[in-house]
Structure 1
Amino acid sequence: MPCTRSAAHRGDVEGVHRSFELDPGHAKGDAAPVVDMLAAKFGRSREEALAMEERVASHARSEGLGYQVGDRDHGSTFDIHRLLRLARARGRQGVLLDLVCRANFAEERSVFDLETLVDLAVEAGLDEAESRAVLADDGAYADEVRADEREAAELGATGVPFFVLDRRYGVSGGQPAEVFTQALEQAWQGRVLTPVGEGAACDADGSCEVPQAGGHS
């Protein structure tokens, strides 16, 4: 969980990664350059889309993170989410997620390639045969991924990153560490943030109260 906590409660907080597809209608196996996707999605020229990527890369590199500009693919992430569900069941989800993110953003490796995904799974400590079996079976962990996506919609998530704290409070978008610290402390103390209506945007500081999903408390 990319946020900070006071030492007093650090051991009492567990981060769980959930599935969310930015482009759920994208056909499996239909990968294309991410710059072309951004240009089409936002109605920009390819040069403008490339400039958008350069700005993101600059922020990433200022934090010591690798970021490839113009060499990344965009495609369906459904198989990736299914494989991450397998990793979660084997206690390796966080490791695999880090490897997938590094391969996608920092390295010239397409995470939409079957063999790349298998290699990453093995690197994360998963069994190769089991990983291949999950990827070959379109139904494996599909219900779990869809359930995550339905819950995300019920909680008001329309994009990523979107963090839900204790199923009550949300932080939307990339925010400074102090925003996460404040939200975590407010969630811990049971204080209510400024409520927003269902489907509305979070406050300017990225904090909001999320609607209850499916009766969860």
Structure 2
Amino acid sequence: MRVEIWTDIACPWCYIGNARFERALAAFGHRDEVEVVHRSFELNPEAENRATPILDAVAARYGRTREQQVAREERAASEARAEGLGFRIGGRVDGNTFDLHRLLHFARARGLQAGLRNLAFKVNFADERSIYDTETLVSLAVEVGLDGAEAREVLADADAYAEDVRSDERLAAELGAGGVPFFVLDRKYGVTGLQPVELFARALEQAWENRPATRVRPPVARGPVPAP
């Protein structure tokens, strides 16, 4: 069985949803027969790497006051900490995640994508370090076991793994993803938005029980995807 997961490292709900899915998968009786494929999604592909404080950038993007955005961050922090995840408020910056997504595809080719993805989530939300500059990305690559020189070459070549990222994003659009996190199980069941562990567990069981079927079925859950 295959589970495809679209996320953006800049998305707090993806950070939390990833942890919840991993909890559900760890408790799933057939977890060793589940292939998890992480796919790319950019929340703000037009963003530039200008080190704009995340609270100001996202508030402006969605027409909120700074106080409203702080309240959303506090909610995300509470949800994250309930999952045992670190989450700081106020120190993150806005930026363009395309290079990070390219690096994640490079890591996938080396069998280290999940480790880099989880480390990038931690660095962004728990440590509040920028995930947008080359030196940080190379250091993260090295930390998970990738070759630093190769990672630097990938980042220096704007075309390296760019089509892999775009292909993921086109597929997300074809499948109707309006935001992330977005989980697709065997191309038959979909789970969108921030959902509880129990729903992921039910989705895994349902997809497993019906895995021989080829008919596309309605999503298990398709709730609103919260903006960052």
The TM tier, using the shorter chain, reads 0.7 to 0.9
Are 2:119 and 1:96 aligned? no
Of residues 128, 147, 161, the one that matches 1:127 is 147
Distance (Å, rounded) in 1 between the aligned partners of 2:163 and 2:176: 20
1:42 partner amino acid: Y
Distance (Å, rounded) in 2 between the aligned partners of 1:195 and 1:92: 32
Distance (Å, rounded) in 1 between the aligned partners of 2:79 and 2:202: 23
Distance (Å, rounded) in 2 between the aligned partners of 1:182 and 1:195: 14
Distance (Å, rounded) in 2 between the aligned partners of 1:113 and 1:205: 32
- Residues 7 and 72 from structure 1, CA distance in 2 versus in 1: closer, same or farther, beyond 3 angstroms? closer
**After the TM superposition, which segments of 4 or more aligned residues of structure 1 sit over 6 Å from their partners?**
191-194
Equivalences, count: 200
- Root mean square deviation of aligned Cα: 2.1
- Residues 45 and 194 from structure 1, CA distance in 2 versus in 1: closer, same or farther, beyond 3 angstroms? same
Distance (Å, rounded) in 2 between the aligned partners of 1:193 and 1:140: 34
Higher RCO (C-alpha 8 Å, min separation 6): 2
Structure 1 residue 128 displacement after superposition: 0.7
Are 2:106 and 1:86 aligned? yes
Distance (Å, rounded) in 2 between the aligned partners of 1:204 and 1:97: 24
Structure with more helix by fraction: 2
Structure 1 residue 189 displacement after superposition: 1.8
Of residues 181, 186, 198, the one that matches 1:161 is 181
Distance (Å, rounded) in 1 between the aligned partners of 2:28 and 2:55: 41
**Unaligned stretches of 5+ in structure 2?**
1-17
2:31 partner amino acid: R
TM-score (norm 1): 0.85
SS of the aligned residue for 1:17 comes to strand
- Give the aligned partner of residue 44 of structure 1: 64
* Contact 1:161–1:173, Cα closer than 8 Å, also in 2: yes
Are 2:43 and 1:12 aligned? no
Structure 1 residue 204 displacement after superposition: 4.8
SS of the aligned residue for 2:40 comes to coil
1:130 partner amino acid: E
Are 2:159 and 1:136 aligned? no
Distance (Å, rounded) in 2 between the aligned partners of 1:193 and 1:89: 29
Question: Percentage identity across aligned positions?
Answer: 57
TM-score (norm 2): 0.81
1:101 partner amino acid: F
- Residues 9 and 126 from structure 1, CA distance in 2 versus in 1: closer, same or farther, beyond 3 angstroms? same
Are 2:47 and 1:26 aligned? yes
**Unaligned stretches of 5+ in structure 1?**
197-201, 207-217
- Residues 189 and 118 from structure 1, CA distance in 2 versus in 1: closer, same or farther, beyond 3 angstroms? same
Structure 1 residue 15 displacement after superposition: 0.8
Matches within 5 A, 1:57-206: 57-190=77-210, 195=218, 202-204=221-223
Of structures 1 and 2, the larger Rg is shown by: 1
